[in-house]
Amino acid sequence: MAKIMVVDDAAFMRKMIKEILTEGGHEVVAEAANGEEAISFYKSCNPDLITMDITMPEMDGIAAVKAIKQLNSEVKVIMCSAMGQQGMVLDAITAGAKDFVVKPFQKDRVLEAVRKVLSA
Amino acid sequence: MLNEYDVISKVGQNVLAGYLGLIVETSELQQGANSIESNGVGVALQIIGQMEGQFISTMSTATVKELVSRMMGGYEVQQLDEMCWSAFQEFGNWFVSGIATELASQGIQVNITQPLLHEGDVTYHSINNYTVVTMTSEIGKIDVYMQLEEAQTTK
Ligand SMILES: [Mg+2]
């Protein structure tokens, strides 16, 4: 079981991811709706893992991962995006994400990514 | 040459059949359309980049309730609340992101804008023709309108 922060600008997606993670036995300790919130919540709740949307207002997910990496170079992030283009996956991995899940996603795929990233 | 119908029906199948488990039949309106009338709900996004255009999907209120209900794992939707609208926006995002991913596999790089929702009587008029695809399933009819053109190179 891990303490996870969910970052997505869509309330619906936060709800979905939270349900999947909770059913998988994890605890969602924070929900952020943009990159700036993500950075501030990261500091206050120090989660084991982050699920991060890419397209968000204020600060996008790639910029947020880069900023959080500055705070903790070991941070574990799974990118969640509806865009499956290679360029975007590459940008996310370069920024420091450990895995990439494409929306709409299946429960098993998300939990598998979480398990893999936590045990790495 | 890009076949818009093929792209829409492939992505529509991925989202509605692959993810939501619906059995979907798609058909194309041969002559297309340059105006769209809706009295239910709709979601619209713009496509920008190497090709540019719009995507609009319309359906009845009954159908969108069924759609978001399925997206929420079967939770019964009585009234369209904020969470439902967020889900409907996400449906637009998934669909058009799927189209963007499909275009990328054909070497065309595009991005998409934030989804815009409408409810009630609305008519869209356009100078260009839309490709019109209807996706029919047990939750009703979902219409998709798309127009896509090579971007002007005068940047
Ligand atoms: Mg987003």
Residue B142 in tokens: 């979902």
User: Are the beta carbons of A38 and A64 closer than 8 angstroms?
Assistant: yes
Cα pseudo-dihedral A57, B91, B71, A31, rounded to 10: 0
Is the confidence at residue B152, as pLDDT, over 90? Answer: no
pLDDT score of B154: 53
Q: Which one, of A15, A16, A52, A13, lies nearest residue A34 by Cα?
A: A52
ipTM of the complex: 0.87
More reliable by pLDDT, B54 or B153: B54
Residue B45 in tokens: 């996004």
* Mutate: best of A83, A88, A101, partner B, most B CBs <10 A: A83
∠ Cα A117 A80 A70 (to 5°): 65
Q: d(Cα A6, Cα A83) in Å, to the nearest integer? A: 18
B5-60 per-position pLDDT tens digit? 999 999 999 999 988 999 999 999 999 999 999 999 999 999 999 999 999 999 99
A44 touches chain B (CB under 8 A): no
The residue extents of the domains of chain A are 3-119
Of A11, A15, A83, the CB nearest to B97: A83
Nearest chain A Cα to B16, which residue? A104
Burial class (CB in 10 A: 0-12, 13-18, 19+), B3: exposed
Q: Do B89 and A81 touch (CB under 8 A)?
A: no
Task: Indicate the CATH number of B4-149 among 1.10.760.10, 1.10.10.10, 2.30.30.230, 3.40.1550.10.
Answer: 3.40.1550.10
A37: enclosing H helix or E strand: helix A35-45
B77-128 per-position pLDDT tens digit? 999 999 999 999 999 999 999 999 999 999 999 999 999 999 999 999 999 9
Burial class (CB in 10 A: 0-12, 13-18, 19+), A46: middle
- Please report, in tens digits, the pLDDT of each residue of chain A (120 residues total): 899 999 999 999 999 999 999 999 999 999 999 999 999 999 999 999 999 999 888 899 999 999 999 999 999 999 998 877 778 888 899 999 999 998 888 899 999 999 999 998
Residue A27 in tokens: 């605890």
The residue extents of the domains of chain B are 4-149
pLDDT score of A35: 95
Burial class (CB in 10 A: 0-12, 13-18, 19+), B72: middle
Sheet with A3-7, edge to edge strand ranges:
A27-32, A3-7, A49-53, A77-81, A99-102
Whole-prediction pTM value? 0.92
Of A82, A86, A87, the CB nearest to B94: A82
CATH 3.40.50.2300 fits A3-119, yes or no: yes
pLDDT score of B12: 96
User: B86 contacts in A (CB within 8 Å)?
Assistant: 10-13
Q: A5 CA distance to ligand 1 centroid (A)?
A: 15
